[in-house]
Amino acid sequence: MRLRTSLVAVGLAAAITLTGCAGGGNDPAEPEAGAALTIAKPDGPITTEGNNPWVGDSSALRLGYANAIFEPLGIVNLVDPSAEVVPWLASEITWAEDYRSVQLTARDGVTWNDGEDFTAEDIAFTFELIKDNPALDTTALGITDVAVDGATVTVSFENPMYIKQDKVLHKLIVPEHVWAEVDDPTTFTNEEPVGTGPYTLESFSTQSVELTARDDYWGGELAVPTLYYVSYADNTALTTALANGDADWAQSFIPNVQSAYLDKGEDNVYWAPAGFGIDTMFVNTLEKPFDDVAFRQAVNMVIDRAKHAEIAREGGVPELTSVTGLPTPAGDDYISAEFAGQDFAVDVEGAKAVLEGAGYTWDGDTLVDPDGEPVTFTLTVPQGWNDYVTGISLISDAVKELGVDAAVDTPDSDSWWEAKGAGDFQAILHWTDSGATPYDLYSDMMDGRFLKPLGEAADFNFGRYDSPEATAALNEYATTTDEAARATALETIQRIFVEDVPTMPIGTRPFISQYNTRNYVGWPSDEDPYVNADPTQPTAVYILTKLQPSG
């Protein structure tokens, strides 16, 4: 029976403070047999326990321990989207040719942590739960039908899931024999979580959560007997804990990562492989100066992506190089032949030539638009987002080479967030989603499905870029069953993106993670990038099963 009293919680928190849970005070050269693993976040106290794998702000999802208790159907490697899917709770995964349905065969020999057998009915029940409760369909799967035939479940969708295969397969599966009795799955706290995963919940406190390895896990014996999930006050506290070994595994941006973390111990590892997500400068394409494609092209030509990676991101992420905006190497197989080998390069003179050709002039050092007005704009990101603030400052400096005065504004995050959705800005730095294909990246920046009038909240395409050709190509990419047609659609998308510059891609947004090899090895790395190392993702269970003692 797991511990639940406040007295136990206080004792556990004290133990963490004194020992670091994972032998942080030991000589890092001496592995500790059977050491615990401490997984950390910088979210401050987690005041309320919630083990619902559907509710985004539940403690289980915020800290990530849901991913050690519940499991997905398959493991999609977003670091290398071309890699084969690793079957997990589904021993066989077969997509229909049009990706409007998928057949999932329930793995035999799996049990829930309460001893009940896992069956195909549990998979079916989970997807029926999503289908019947739209609030749970957070990735808009649009499930239309769920059918069971023996050990095989067929899930059908309103639209093709080619671009959302990871969203389908990474759904955490819940037990029908528990959740069928739940009145409202959107509010159920699930205090005694039953999952198929390798660990069970032992205790919860506002400082930490303890999980214990199962001795009957279907995937075999586990190297790590105990997991602690700890929430530190902020990034600074988390960085200190990682550096001194009190925390073992995290996903956090660390300024000055070399001196602040890597140099503190030879076992410390910082891994930031690029997926398909990027940071990009959204610009208001409906108003001056960014309603002019020539001006957008010119600004794109003077932004220094290498300087952004080195200074704003402090050398902690790969540089964004391809003019298509696709990070490499994840995007290598998707860059069309037209743009293969074409990389960003700062070209001030070329940018000035583009502006001159479009009717711009200079009054001294000041750029003047074809209407005779000096060109200015304002860049905004929230105060406190230090890497973003530095990023827009670098862009402001870059456009001075064109004679443009770009002011830097840092409002509070709430005001900025509201203005971003409403399109009440000239230029902002923001991110795109990642996924198993380039679709999310391009759709977020230029898809007409996100278009909203100025003043109404948009989910993406904040700059109101309107290209029916781009929207049609994105739709074709997402829905066609013909590989040649999909490739042609992607060529069209990239051509429009490069030529029309709906946004200015600035830098990679990789899967950042930190871990140490003091007590355990088998982590993903550049040499073996079998999955991203973010402990808050459903794929974290794969890592937990691959870890082995370092001794």
Q: How many CA atoms lie within 13 A of 274 on its CB side?
A: 26
Alpha carbon 96 to its chain centroid, in Å, reads: 27
Cα-atom radius of gyration of the chain, to the nearest Å? Answer: 25
Closest CA to 82 of 12, 165, 143: 165
Q: What pLDDT is stored for residue 277 in this prediction?
A: 93
CB 211, CB 38: distance < 8 Å: no
Q: How many CA atoms lie within 13 A of 414 on its CB side?
A: 0
Q: How far is it, in rounded angstroms, from Cα 125 to Cα 203?
A: 28
Q: How far is it, in rounded angstroms, from Cα 145 to Cα 131?
A: 8
Closest CA to 387 of 487, 512, 500, 517: 512
Neighbours of 192 (CB within 10 A): 14
**Any alpha helices (H) in 303-412, and if so which ranges?**
305-307, 348-357, 386-399
Q: What distance, in Å, lies between the first and last C-alpha atoms of the chain?
A: 32
Alpha carbon 190 to its chain centroid, in Å, reads: 26
Task: Tell me which DSSP letter residue 308 carries.
Answer: I
CB 188, CB 175: distance < 8 Å: no
Q: Which residue has the tokens 């990642």?
A: 434
CB 167, CB 137: distance < 8 Å: no
Task: Tell me which DSSP letter residue 457 carries.
Answer: P
Q: What pLDDT is stored for residue 42 in this prediction?
A: 86
Instruction: Using DSSP bridges, classify how beta strands 405-409 and 427-431 pair: parallel, antiparallel or unpaired.
Output: unpaired
Closest CA to 421 of 464, 387, 389: 464
Q: Is 4 exposed, middle or buried (0-12, 13-18, 19+ CB in 10 A)?
A: middle
- Residue 412 contacts by C-beta under 8 Å, 6 or more apart in sequence? 382, 383
Q: How far is it, in rounded angstroms, from Cα 10 to Cα 31?
A: 28
Neighbours of 449 (CB within 10 A): 12
Q: What pLDDT is stored for residue 329 in this prediction?
A: 86
pTM above 0.85, yes or no: no
Q: What pLDDT is stored for residue 29 in this prediction?
A: 57
- CA dist 101 → 129, 158, 165, 479 (Å): 17, 9, 11, 13
Strands annotated E in 50-106: 74-75, 86-87, 90-95, 101-106
Q: How many CA atoms lie within 13 A of 542 on its CB side?
A: 23
Q: What pLDDT is stored for residue 43 in this prediction?
A: 78
Strand pairing partners for 282? 428, 503
Q: How far is it, in rounded angstroms, from Cα 522 to Cα 543?
A: 8
pLDDT in tens, the chain (551 residues): 344 333 233 333 333 333 334 444 444 457 887 999 999 998 778 778 999 998 777 899 989 999 999 999 999 999 888 899 999 999 999 999 999 999 999 999 999 999 999 999 999 999 999 999 998 998 889 999 999 999 999 999 999 999 999 999 999 999 999 999 999 999 999 999 999 999 999 999 887 899 999 999 999 999 999 999 999 888 889 999 999 999 999 998 888 889 999 999 999 999 998 889 999 999 999 999 999 999 999 999 999 999 999 999 988 888 999 999 999 888 999 999 999 999 999 999 999 999 999 999 999 999 999 999 999 999 999 988 888 999 999 999 999 999 999 999 999 988 998 999 999 999 999 999 888 899 999 999 999 999 999 999 998 999 999 999 999 999 999 999 899 999 999 999 999 999 999 999 999 999 999 999 999 999 999 999 999 999 999 999 999 999 999 97
Closest CA to 280 of 38, 130, 500, 442: 442
